[in-house]
Structure 1
């Protein structure tokens, strides 16, 4: 996700690790940390407004009478979304799916503990180390959630790895819909608005499709795409 700060300081690589999905790197630039995947900038700890909105908007879109709703967060990242969910007592189960072992380690035993430490210790939190695309397509008998908050790419039109494209396809969005309880909400972070993605959501049966914008320092706003599964 695009950085929201400017600095003349050169980045310092703290760890570089090869995994089944390629290379992931943790860097420090001044007071902030950055995650790079296969040479693509993912996110940093400079702001976090849009990652927090991902969680807040999903909760606000749920039916008012939904008690202790469950949420699946796709992508641990730098931990802002998890921390936001854990800080909200109205959430019930909080499951986070993260495929990169290195990212999980940086939160549990590394510098990103400063962001996510209390959230990881929350008894509602569960970390699932798995590929989100495969997890969502778990099939019959798979867990369902009241909200799916997905932030594994720079958006539906700008994926980090080629295999992630299928998550935003009709089959992938149908799988997301099937992982939701009736009336549940899908929220997808993106570095830019996508009218094509909004149409794709409607075409697989989601209702109340809309986009919330988050202003950034320069360029187009970050956005959260929202859609509801019909009750």
Structure 2
């Protein structure tokens, strides 16, 4: 088996470091020794968009916010499953992740970044939530879920204050969908306390089990 080769590394604003690794045609983004994403395993990230699109339905001119570009699994699924007249805003904090998407990972991302429905912003998704709403759906695939790994400031998205801000940024009937690598009972209670209607859905990515919470604004 071919060994992994480090292709690049990048500092995360306000702390942490990411490494882009390659083995043949396979890529991995790592935070320390922990793999955050892999180009061969994106099924659960795709489900983040698919589950949200099913629940939102055929809403015309929907505005979608995706927090975290990563390897683009959620974005590509959103382009396939949300209505064709939707606008999809992608907020990515780390400049290198955007550079990788347009360079070393361009084959992974395909034509998604040049789709006219997509607006890619180099910014903290918390700023997009506060500034650019209302949205019909906010999809958060930031860090490793509520228990952040690469950047401590990411935890603010999942506090009571951060969830309240997301709720304000949703249009009536809009939804907040959150990806997580594992369960978090305290976070679920906090999410329910916002007054959103919460579903917890288990999804698979290869052999791993991940979680998606879909919270709908009344």
Alignment of 1:58-207 (within 5 A): 58-62=52-56, 64=57, 66-88=59-81, 90-91=83-84, 92-108=86-102, 110-138=103-131, 142-207=132-197
CA separation in 1, counterparts of 2:171 and 2:134?
6
Tell me the TM-score normalised to structure 1 length. Answer: 0.86
Alpha-carbon distance in structure 2 between the residues aligned to 1:151 and 1:65? 23
- Gap runs ≥5 in structure 1: 1-7
Q: State how far apart, in whole Å, the 2-side matches of 1:67 and 1:46 are.
A: 33
1:213 maps to which of 185, 202, 206: 202
Measured in 1, the distance between the counterparts of 2:58 and 2:112 equals 25
CA contact (8 A) 1:40 1:160 kept: no
CA–CA distance in structure 1, aligned partners of residues 46 and 12 of structure 2: 28
SS at structure 1 position matched to 2:60: coil
SS of residue in 2 equivalent to 1:87: helix
Equivalent pairs counted in the alignment come to 216
The one-character-per-residue Cα deviations of 1:14-50 (angstroms, maximum 9, x if unpaired) are 1123353442221113431111245543111112110
